[in-house]
Amino acid sequence: MRQFEVWVENKVGMLAEVAEILAKNRINIRGVATEAKNDKGIIKLVTDDEDATRKALTDAGMNFKEFEIVPTRLRDQPGELAKVSRALANLGVDIQSVFLLGKDHGTTEIAFKVSDLKKAREILD
């Protein structure tokens, strides 16, 4: 699973522009987060079609990077994220971003961008 980080100008309408590029290419957004840093913005995305996302963003001339992320399912109850994030911290794994991808029948699907994929998989797989 991949996370795309699209670097844009920090101005009105940029999220709409990126979302429209994906929509035009029939790409569904599974998770999204934004961040603003002065005159730059970052739109972080997880989609249902990584190859199509890469092509759509490239064809649109968007500046982006992509990263492997680790998905996992947690029980949908208090304390589950605390347990997992503490276990990762105890292994020395830095959590760089987290996506809530969905909830279904008592579970929550989450994906983590981390500093050490191998160590994270020991906990999350």
Which residues, 6 or more positions from 35, have their beta carbon under 8 angstroms from its beta carbon?
A: 41, 42, 44
Mean pLDDT over the full length of the chain: 95
Per-residue model confidence (pLDDT) at position 125: 81
- Among 21, 1, 2, residue whose Cα is nearest residue 61: 21
Report the candidate in 79, 118, 87, 84 with the shortest Cα–Cα distance to residue 98.
Answer: 84
Domain boundaries, the chain: 2-68, 70-124
> Which residues have C-beta within 8 Å of that of residue 123, sequence separation ≥ 6?
84, 87, 88, 91, 93
Name the percent of the chain lying above pLDDT 70: 100
- Strands of the sheet with 63-68, listed across from one edge: 29-37, 40-47, 2-9, 63-68
2-25: per-residue pLDDT in tens? 999 999 999 999 999 999 999 999
Average pLDDT in the 88-97 region? 96
Q: In the 8-state DSSP scheme, what is residue 30?
A: E
Residue 107 has pLDDT above 90, yes or no: yes
Banded model confidence at residue 98, pLDDT cuts 50, 70, 90: very high
Residue 38 in this model has a pLDDT that exceeds 90:
no
C-alpha dist (Å) from residue 9 to 17, 33, 34, 44, 72: 11, 15, 12, 14, 32
State in words which class domain 2-68 has. alpha beta
pLDDT at 6: 98
User: May I ask the CATH class of domain 70-124?
Assistant: alpha beta
* 2-68 against 70-124: fold identical: no
